[in-house]
Amino acid sequence: MHEEGAKIVVVDINRDNALKVAENINAKASGSATAFVADVADEEATKAMIDHAVDTFGRLDILHNNATALEVGAVKDLSLEGWNKTLAVNVTAPFLATKYALPIMIDQGGGAIVNTASISGTRGDYGMSAYNAGKAAVINFTRSAAIENARFGVRMNCVCPGAIDTPAIKGLTGAGSASIGYVSVAGGGEIPALEADHSRQVREKMANAHPIGRLGQAVEIANTVLFLASDEASFITGAAYIVDGGLTAHTGLPAMM
């Protein structure tokens, strides 16, 4: 976004993370970014986040709802606390940010909102029912909000990534730290560490599940978000963009050739 000329409010529940990203942007162009600490599942914090953007830069043209949370476990083992936290961050947070961004965007004549959903909102995964439910909700929330606000010049879309090579995936496959703040295991504890060989096999299976033969990269999702937020996507609203290396194009049947 910054490379294309945007000024950025970097929001994270972790102050150090937010400051690091904002400082990296400002090292390229001073005054282009500011850090803001918020739990985006909290209404007052989210309203303050939107107000901060307008107070700092004078307007709000793009909102990207990208926070996530995940409790891993079979349905019978999920805690109500884990279920509620997963839905609060994945569903309530985009709703709150959108709710407070819309009046500003409508008043200024338009804007673009992009939500991060997932292919897990279009299919089921073992041990991820709360996440699946939340991401499915994001997709249909995006559609409803899009048609409500299209005539006001506000476009709203979501991106549905496949498996992306992020710290969360590294933690889930044992290839990186298991201590990821927004991923928990039903019943408590951390994601169990995997032996190096097993970790490599899990990652290879995950990569090979994608017909393109690899995990996605974060920049590939960022580029999709950038496109959906840009004027080049001016006739696109209410869409769920699948960016998964062909994963959901496959029926799951074995190759016949």
Residue 212: phi and psi, rounded to 5, are: -75, -15
Q: What's the token pair of residue 228?
A: 């959906």
- Measured from the Cβ of residue 234, the count of other Cβ atoms closer than 10 Å reads 11
Q: Are strands 111-116 and 183-185 parallel, antiparallel or unpaired?
A: unpaired
First to last CA, the chain: 42
Q: What's the token pair of residue 231?
A: 């004027």
- Which of 100, 126, 131, 182 is catalytic? The answer is 131
Whole-number Å distance between alpha carbons of 7 and 63: 12
- Contact of 91 with 131, CB cutoff 8 Å: no
Q: Is residue 131 among the annotated active site residues?
A: yes
- Contact of 47 with 34, CB cutoff 8 Å: no
Residue 9: phi and psi, rounded to 5, are: -105, 115
> Could you list the active site residues?
131
